[in-house]
């Protein structure tokens, strides 16, 4: 609930995603300047934004999402001058990355400046920064004349929102304003990279792939999805929490694409024998392999892996717990954008089925 009682419902303003109208942007910028929270589209997923320099405003983001206060959020900027206000040191490699990938779905960790509220970075001395490639996000930052702290605009633990409808489903009674700019392009959250390690570490895979980053930075390593051992802080605080989960338990099936439908069918029959109603996440190429009576959703085509990323979260949200007791998902090769898809599916899964 936003601001205590009485329960209110979000104001929703449609906005053109290519040429955002001044009216809705000005209204949303006033909310940001007043210290309120606003949901807005980016090229990855919808963000839940607040003035990154206002600790009380940032706190409202965590309250609305039910997000643990020790998981820092990303600070969004619109210009390179603004980078100098939120980061205390910007080295050459970061400038090279920014030159190649900003605006775009890449988040870089910097030493934090005093200007950014401690709440935004969970009291760490570093700040995660990105310049989004979305006209609505950029205009909102420019018009409010503030860096905007924003995690994904979902309830903590749910799949990230790729439409305004998803935001409203999760947070309709917890946020005062939603800018509706239609569906997002990539459908998965930005790649997060830490340049302070040698070689640089990908803390979260995203639309900018490991190979693309290696092309600019030379060698890079990918952080373990689950930090080993109990010692010390996890590399990226977000890694230790359950994420992206649909409402029914998800079983993720690993192995080569060839035998995939047969393995999913065998598993599904095992679940059905236990009395469960089964849903299947399939692809355009495999959806015909499953009985018509089952709830089968195609997440995209294996010939265009970006289509799978684009549809992933809406597919996870589409299984109604009143209709299915368990979801079985086909797995994908862990390369390129599909590494990112598998990273999210692994975190969403309650069971991972290795090939026998």
Chain residues binding Mg ion by CB under 5 A are 151-152
Residue span binding ligand TXA (CB under 6 A) among the ranges 22-30, 121-129, 287-295, 337-345: 121-129
The span from the CA of 220 to the CA of 36, in Å, is: 38
Residue carrying the six token digits 């209110």: 8
Nearer to ligand TXA, 85 or 236 (CB): 236
Q: In this chain, which of 53, 54, 163, 236 binds ligand TXA, going by CB under 6 A?
A: 236
Closest approach, Cβ 161 to ligand TXA, in A, equals 9
Using DSSP's 3-state secondary structure scheme, residue 46 falls into coil
50 binds ligand TXA, rule: CB under 6 A:
no
| Inter-residue contact 148 to 51 (CB < 8 Å) | yes
78 binds ligand TXA, rule: CB under 6 A:
no
DSSP 139-158: HHHHHHTS-EEE-BSS-TTS
The span from the CA of 186 to the CA of 198, in Å, is: 29
| Inter-residue contact 295 to 279 (CB < 8 Å) | yes
Residues in region 128-147 near ligand TXA by CB under 6 A: 128, 130, 132
Closest approach, Cβ 68 to Mg ion, in A, equals 12
The span from the CA of 9 to the CA of 277, in Å, is: 34
Nearer to ligand TXA, 109 or 252 (CB): 109
Residue span binding ligand TXA (CB under 6 A) among the ranges 66-74, 295-303, 307-315, 318-326: 66-74
Using DSSP's 3-state secondary structure scheme, residue 204 falls into strand
Q: Which helix (H) or strand (E) holds 354?
A: none
The span from the CA of 260 to the CA of 106, in Å, is: 32
Nearer to ligand TXA, 225 or 352 (CB): 225
Q: In this chain, which of 24, 135, 151, 161 binds ligand TXA, going by CB under 6 A?
A: 151
Closest approach, Cβ 152 to Mg ion, in A, equals 3
Using DSSP's 3-state secondary structure scheme, residue 260 falls into helix
Contact positions vs ligand TXA (CB under 6 A):
42, 44-45, 47, 71-74, 105, 107, 109, 121, 124, 126-128, 130, 132, 150-152, 189-190, 192, 203-204, 236-238
């Amino acid at each position: 609930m936003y601001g205590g009682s009485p329960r209110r419902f979000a104001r929703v303003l449609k906005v053109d995603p290519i040429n955002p109208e001044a009216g809705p942007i000005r209204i949303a910028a006033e909310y940001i300047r007043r210290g309120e929270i606003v949901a807005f589209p980016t090229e990855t997923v919808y963000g839940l934004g607040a003035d990154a320099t206002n600790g009380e405003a940032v706190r409202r983001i965590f309250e609305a999402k039910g997000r643990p206060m020790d998981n820092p959020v990303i600070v969004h900027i619109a210009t390179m001058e603004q980078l100098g206000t939120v980061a205390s040191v910007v080295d050459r490699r970061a400038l090279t990355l920014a030159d190649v990938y900003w605006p775009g779905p890449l988040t870089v960790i910097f030493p934090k400046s005093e200007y950014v509220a401690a709440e935004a970075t969970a009291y760490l001395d570093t700040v995660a920064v990105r310049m989004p490639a979305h006209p609505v996000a950029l205009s909102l930052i420019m018009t409010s004349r503030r860096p905007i702290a924003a995690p994904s605009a979902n309830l903590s633990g749910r799949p990230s929102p790729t439409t305004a409808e998803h935001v409203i489903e999760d947070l309709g009674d917890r946020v005062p304003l939603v800018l509706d700019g239609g569906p997002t392009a990539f459908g998965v959250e930005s790649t997060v990279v830490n340049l302070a390690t040698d070689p640089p570490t990908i803390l979260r895979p995203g639309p900018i792939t490991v190979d693309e980053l290696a092309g600019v930075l030379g060698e890079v390593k990918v952080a373990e999805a689950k930090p080993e051992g109990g010692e010390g802080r996890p590399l990226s605080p977000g890694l230790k929490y359950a994420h992206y989960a649909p409402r029914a338990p998800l079983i993720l099936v690993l192995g080569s694409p060839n035998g995939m439908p047969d393995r999913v069918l065998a598993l599904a029959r095992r679940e059905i024998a236990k009395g469960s109603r089964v849903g299947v996440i399939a692809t355009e190429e495999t959806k015909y392999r499953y009985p018509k009576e089952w709830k089968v959703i195609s997440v995209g085509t294996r010939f265009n892996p970006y289509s799978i990323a684009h549809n992933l979260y809406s597919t996870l949200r589409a299984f109604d717990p009143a209709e299915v007791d368990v979801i079985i998902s086909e797995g994908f090769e862990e390369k390129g954008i599909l590494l990112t898809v598998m990273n999210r599916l692994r975190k969403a899964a309650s069971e991972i089925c290795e090939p026998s």
